[in-house]
């Protein structure tokens, strides 16, 4: 075989492209998204190396060093003012294609090495402006970092949710700021001010609204007010900052989700002689009981600081439960479990009196100030009974979970 390295590198690229093309055909957009398609770059560079520069093997060390320095200077000059278009894209692409085609013909001569360098330089000069717009500039990075610094100063450990309009000229800044958190997972939407109230936030969450519209904070507050009222919360604008974007300035408004005391009513359980709560701000901790039918090394111990719990090792096994609770009025209820995490994963949930299914669960949780909390909402009718329980949430072989229950509480929200 004349060039085994070339055959090997080409085969690697071909197999990788074929696999990603198959995934694309099956509906997994690995070639349709540059973030995944970029995984081909290592294989592409290896093939480029053996295709365009075999003559480099015959160069003297001095010539090779000079060629590397010249290449670094050319590409450095192209990227120095990358935000400004250097050459017309169409003419530059044609010049690059011609140079690379000729470089392949002359690949075993040093002239071919120079032509290849020139061809890639032409292609870079033609596309660098679009690349910079995609990946950002130093000025954009500084704006995003300043915005994030302001967000961190007011979030107090709460979740951050982004809300903006992707058609806004400054949307690259908004997407970049959102990407410093959990991207799609922490996004209310990209069609501001449209919002369908489908994302249920908890108190302490911070909504970051980015827009060129000066009235965006007031518009966002009005929309959120209508959505959050059903959960006993209200929006409070913490801060509004302005940043100079690509054109006129845009605002970044930070809106906190706060509990509305006029709508929320804490519930205190009152137990009858059978142990059933007849009127569900802390529930008595001594009422928690281990679920006796589980014998898989679970444990519960009441201490001054709370209730230390170790779940059974079985996957999704019940650990402890609370006596049945009867809704005193028809309404929307929020059950919350504050805890200190030690190890493993666990779930806080509610089941109906017949134990047929889960009505609601939370296995992720959030921060509520300095506390960690699992919570969920239930719409209950008067007299409806629910059972609160905690279960192991580890998969097979992952073992038990360990944590400290600090407080169990519930509220009922007035419904209009």
What tens digit of pLDDT does each residue of 84-140 get?
666 676 788 888 889 999 988 898 888 888 899 989 888 888 766 555 555 667 888
Q: Are 212 and 166 in contact (CB under 8 A)?
A: no
Residues of the chain short of pLDDT 70, as ranges, are 1-2, 81-87, 89, 127-136, 183-185, 270-281, 292-296, 369, 396-398, 415-416
Please give the structure tokens belonging to residue 151. Answer: 């967000």
* DSSP label at residue 198: -
Task: Return left, alpha or beta for 59; rule: phi > 0 is left, psi -120 to 50 is alpha, else beta.
Answer: beta
Q: What are the residue ranges of CATH 2.60.120.260 in the chain?
A: 264-413
3-state secondary structure of 222: helix
Q: Would you say how long the chain is, in residues?
A: 416
Phi and psi at residue 411, to the nearest 5°: -135, 160
Please give the structure tokens belonging to residue 349. Answer: 């949930």
**What per-residue confidence (pLDDT) applies to 370?**
73
d(CA 184, CA 164): 12
Q: Give the class (CATH, top level) of 147-259.
A: alpha beta
Measure the CA angle with vertex 148, ends 191 and 136; round to 5°: 70
Q: Give strand pairing partners of 78.
A: none
Q: Give the CA count within 13 Å in the CB-facing half-sphere of 120.
A: 17
Phi and psi at residue 2, to the nearest 5°: -65, -40
Alpha helices in 32-137 (DSSP H): 34-37, 41-52, 61-80, 89-105, 110-135
**What per-residue confidence (pLDDT) applies to 268?**
74
Please give the structure tokens belonging to residue 351. Answer: 């089941």
pTM of the model: 0.65
**CATH assignment of 264-413, given 2.60.120.260, 3.50.50.60, 3.40.50.10800, 3.40.47.10?**
2.60.120.260
């Amino acid at each position: 075989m004349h060039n085994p390295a070339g055959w090997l590198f080409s085969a690697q690229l071909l197999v990788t492209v074929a696999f990603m093309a198959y995934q694309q055909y099956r509906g997994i957009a690995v070639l349709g998204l540059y973030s995944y398609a970029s995984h081909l770059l290592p294989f592409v560079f290896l093939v480029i190396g053996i295709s365009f520069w075999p003559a480099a093997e015959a160069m003297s060390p001095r010539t090779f060093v000079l060629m590397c320095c010249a290449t670094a200077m050319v590409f450095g000059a192209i990227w120095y003012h990358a935000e400004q278009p250097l050459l017309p894209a169409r003419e530059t692409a044609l010049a690059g294609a011609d140079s690379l085609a000729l470089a392949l013909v002359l690949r075993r001569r040093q002239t071919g090495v120079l032509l290849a360098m020139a061809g890639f330089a032409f292609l870079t000069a033609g596309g660098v402006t679009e690349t910079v717009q995609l990946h950002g500039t130093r000025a954009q990075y500084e704006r995003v970092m300043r915005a994030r610094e302001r967000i961190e100063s007011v979030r107090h450990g709460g979740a951050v949710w982004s809300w903006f309009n992707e058609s806004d000229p400054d949307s690259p800044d908004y997407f970049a700021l959102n990407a410093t958190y959990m991207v799609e997972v922490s996004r209310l939407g990209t069609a501001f001010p449209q919002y369908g109230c489908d994302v249920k936030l908890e108190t302490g969450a911070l909504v970051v609204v980015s827009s060129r519209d000066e009235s965006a904070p007031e518009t966002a507050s009005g929309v959120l007010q209508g959505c959050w009222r059903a959960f006993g919360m209200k929006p409070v604008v913490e801060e509004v900052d302005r940043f100079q974007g690509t054109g006129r300035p845009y605002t970044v408004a930070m809106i906190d989700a706060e509990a509305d005391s006029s709508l929320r009513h804490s519930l205190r359980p009152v137990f009858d002689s059978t142990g059933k709560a007849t009127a569900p701000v802390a529930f008595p901790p001594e009422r928690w009981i281990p679920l006796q039918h589980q014998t898989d090394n679970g444990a519960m111990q009441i201490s001054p600081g709370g209730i230390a719990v170790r779940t059974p090792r079985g996957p999704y096994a019940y650990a402890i439960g609370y006596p049945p609770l009867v809704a005193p009025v028809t309404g929307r209820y929020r059950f919350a479990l504050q805890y200190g995490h030690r190890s493993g994963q666990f779930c806080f949930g509610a089941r109906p009196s017949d134990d047929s299914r889960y009505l609601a669960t939370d296995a992720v949780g959030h921060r509520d100030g300095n506390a960690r909390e699992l919570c969920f909402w239930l719409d209950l009718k008067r007299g409806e009974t629910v059972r609160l329980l905690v279960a192991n949430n580890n998969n097979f072989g992952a073992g038990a979970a360990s944590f400290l229950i600090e407080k169990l509480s519930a509220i009922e929200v007035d419904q209009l």
